[in-house]
Structure 1
Amino acid sequence: MDNNNVMLIDGMALLFRGYYANSYGGYIRKTSAGLPTNAVYGFVKYMLDAISRFKPTHVICCWDMGSKTFRTEKYDGYKANRPDAPLELVPQFDLVKEVVSSFNIPNVGIAGFEADDCIGTLARKFESDDTNVHILTGDHDMLQLVTDRTRVIIMKKGASNYAVYDAQTLLEEKQLTAAQFIDLKGLIGDTSDNYPGVKGIGEKTAVKLLLEYESIDGIVANLPSLSKSVKAKIESDLDMLHLCRELATIKCDAPIDCAVEDSLWRPDPDKVREKFLELEFNSLVKEISAFHSVVA
C-alpha cells in the first residue's frame, strides 16, 4: 500500500474560500434558473488544482454536519461568534456534495463531530496502513495532525499558492512540534472559534513557555519558576486553560470509517460533464479532457 497517497479535503474550507473568491463586486454566479453556484464553482477549481499539483491516488472530502458538536456541549461559547452563512451560500451546501459525488469522491461527515475530527481519524487510520496522507485546508489548526506520513497543505491567498507542512517544516517555521500546536491554542485561545485561552497570554509568551517547558503539563508543573505575572495569569485561568486545550484537540478516534479502496481517484468524465452542464459550468466542461489526464 506504500504507493497510496490519500488526499483528505476540508470541504467547508474550500467552499467558503470559493464563495468569497467568486463574489467580488457583489456579483454572484447563478444558473439561468437562478441557482447560486459561485462557491461550488470555486470549490471545483481549487480541488482540481490541488489534485493536479499533489497527484493523490485517493481522494475523500470531509464535512461539518451542523453547529452542534461535543465541543459546544463542553463550552457554550464555542464558535458562538460565527455569523450565519450568506443566503446565496446556503443552497450550495447540498449542491457541492452532489458535485463531489459526481467525481466518485466519498463525502464523509458525522453528527456531533467537525470535519477536522473526521480528517484526523482517517489520517491516523490510513497512516497505520503505511499510506501517505495530504490534508488540504486553509485552517492552521490542522497542523497538529502533521506526522512522518501526514502533511498538511495550507491554501494561501491567490491561485495555486500552497504552504506544505511536514514535521521538519513545522519546526523550522513555527518552532513547535505538531503536539505543541494543541497546547499553544490552549494557552492563547482562538478568536475564530471563540474560546479565550489564558487572559493576558499572547503567542510570543506562549511559544517561549512551550520551548522551555515543552507542554501545558510541563508549564503547570513548573509554576513556581515562572515570572510573577505569568504565574498569576495561569493560576487564575487554570480551568479555562485545560478546557481550551480540550477544545483545540482534534479527535482522532471519531466513530467513522471510510475504506481507502472506496476513495480511488478515478472519476468518470461523462458523469462529471453531465453535472457541469447542469450547473452551466461551461468553461469547466472544456477542462474535463485536461483533468482526464490527471486521472489517467
Structure 2
Amino acid sequence: MSDRPLLYLIDGHAVAYRQFHALPEQAFSTKSGEVTNAVYGFTRILVDILLDKQPKYLAVSFDAGMSGRDEIYDDYKATREKMPDSLAQQLQRIGEVVQAFNIPILKLEGYEADDVMGTVARQAEEQDINVLIITGDRDILQLLSDHVQVQLPAYKNKADVIYDIPAFQKKYGIEPGQLVDLKALMGDSSDNIPGIKGIGEKTGTKLLQQYHTLDGIYEHIDEIKGSTQKKLIEGREDAYLSQNLARIRRNLPITLEIEKCHTQDFDFNTVTSIFRELEFRSLFDRLESYNMTQLPLFNMNAEDAGFLPPDDIVEAVIVQDKAALDELVETLNSAKEIVWDVETTSIDQMQARLVGIAIAVDGER
C-alpha cells in the first residue's frame, strides 16, 4: 500500500470467536473462576498491534444485527451453532478492554460488523487513509483494494496471513470483486448461503474467469453446455439471492471520525487495572516494560508515574556514538551537579534488563 496513514480495523466478533476455539478454556481462567480464553487471545492481538506495529489509528467493530439479510432469507446463518454462553460473557469483557485502551467501538444497531467495516473502509480510502482489517472471516476479502488489506490472525498451527490483491489473485484465481459472485454460484455453508446446487468452487471460478460476473454468465448462458447450463438455469433465482446475501454493504449511516481512532491516547493505569483484574500477568508485564521505555506513547500523569514535573523543559541528548560519548565525558568532568538514573524494562529488580542510563547535568541538559 502507498505511504498513507494506516487505520487498523479489528473484527471483534470474528477475532474473539477464533481465539475462543484456539485457546483451551481450562488454561485461561481467573482465581474466581471467570473464563478468559477469548478475552486473553483478543487482548494479546490488540497489544501486539499497539506495541509492535504502532498504527496511527485503530478501531474495533462488533455485530449488532444481520443487516436485514435474515429478512431476505429466513435461513440465513440458520445452521450456525448458538454462541457458547462463556463466549457471550467474554464479549462484554472484550468491550471493557477495548474501552480501557480508549479505542472506539464501531457498531450500528441492526447491522453486521462486515457492513460497518465495509462502510468505514470506504470512507477511510476517501480520506487518503490505508486500511488493514484484522478478521477471521474470509468474506471480508471482497473489500481488498490498492488501499485495503486483510489479515487473518494465526490460528492453531497456522501463521498470520495478510492478503493484498496479488495474494488474493494467486490464492483464488479471480479478482477480489468477483468473490461475491463466486459465493453466489457455490454458496457458503458457514452463513447458510444456498448458491446453485451442484456448482462448486472449481466450476464457479472457471465461469468467472471466462465471463467475469454473474450477469456475464447469464448473458452468455447459451454458450455454456451440458449439466452446468441446466444447473445455472434452474438455480438462477438462488444465485441472485446468494449474491445479495454475500455482498457487503458499504453505505451504512455511520461516519468514520478518524481522530477518535488515534492510538496514542489511553491511560496506562486504567489498562493495567483491568489486566490485574483479569490476571493477565504476561500482558501486564509486557505493557509495563514498554511503558518504562516508551513513556510518551502513554497518557500517564506525572504523579502516577512516581515523579514530579520539571519546572523547565531542558535539552535532551541521546548518546549513540563515540563522538557523543566523548562530549558527554567532557561535560561531566566540568559539571557542578550530576543526577543519574537507570532505565530498565521493569520495576522488578530481579527480572529487569538495562535499557540505558539517564543523566542530568546542572539542570540544563
TM range (shorter): over 0.9
Q: Out of 230, 235, 241, which is 1:243 matched to? A: 241
Distance 1:118 1:290 in 2: 35
Pick closer, same or farther for the CA change 1:234–1:53 going to 2, 3 Å. farther
Q: Which residue of 2 aligns with 1:168?
A: 166
- Correspondence 1:92-171 to 2 at 5 A: 92-158=90-156, 161-171=159-169
Aligned partners of 2:93 and 2:111: how far apart in 1? Answer: 21
**How far, CA to CA, are the matches of 1:12 and 1:222 in structure 2?**
40
Task: Give the C-alpha shift of residue 85 in structure 1.
Answer: 1.4
What's 1:283 paired with?
282
Correspondences of 1:1-296 after superposition (within 5 Å):
3-23=4-24, 27=26, 29-66=28-65, 68-158=66-156, 161-266=159-264, 267-292=266-291, 293=294, 296=297
The 3-state SS of whatever aligns with 2:150 is strand
Give the counterpart letter for 1:125 in structure 2.
Q
Report the Cα distance in structure 1 between the residues aligned to 2:296 and 2:203, rounded to whole angstroms.
Answer: 47
Structure 1, residues 115-171: CA drift from partner, whole Å, max 9, x if none?
000110000000001101101111111110001111111224348922111122222
CA, structure 1 residues 277+175, in 2 after alignment: closer, same or farther (shift >3 Å)? same
Per-residue CA distance 1:60-114 (angstroms, 9 max, x = gap): 0000114x43110100110011111122212112111011110111111112211
Asked if 2 retains the 8 angstrom alpha-carbon contact of 1:154 and 1:163, the reply is yes
- Give the superposed CA RMSD: 2.0
Instruction: Note closer, same or farther for the CA distance 1:201–1:52 as it changes in structure 2 (3 Å cut).
Output: farther
> Whose RCO is larger (CA < 8 A, sep 6+)?
1
Q: Residues 187, 277 of structure 1: CA spacing in aligned structure 2 closer, same or farther, 3 A cutoff?
A: same
In 2, distance between residues paired with 1:207 and 1:154? 22
Aligned residues: 293
Q: Which amino acid aligns with 2:28?
A: R
Q: Is the CA contact (8 Å cut-off) linking 2:75 and 2:192 kept in structure 1?
A: yes
Q: Deviations over 1:228-266 (max 9, x none)?
A: 211110111111100100000000111112301000012
Cα deviation per residue 1:22-49 (whole Å; 9 max; x = unaligned)? 22xx615222333222210111112223
Q: Is the alpha carbon distance of 1:187 and 1:54 closer, same or farther for their aligned partners in structure 2, counting shifts above 3 Å? A: farther
* Deviation (angstroms), 1:289: 2.8
Distance, in Å, in 1 between the alignment partners of 2:115 and 2:81 is: 22
Query: Taking structure 1 as reference, are residues 60 and 160 closer, same or farther at Cα in structure 2, changes over 3 Å only?
Result: farther
**Compared with structure 1, are the counterparts of its residues 295 and 226 closer, same or farther at alpha carbon in structure 2 (3 Å cutoff)?**
farther
* Structure 1 residues 170 and 35, CA gap change in structure 2 (3 angstroms): same
Distance 1:173 1:17 in 2: 22
Q: After superposition, give the CA deviation of every residue in 1:148-201 in whole Å (9 maximum; x if it has no partner).
A: 111111224348922111122222232111110110011100000001100000
TM-score of the pair, normalised by structure 1: 0.93
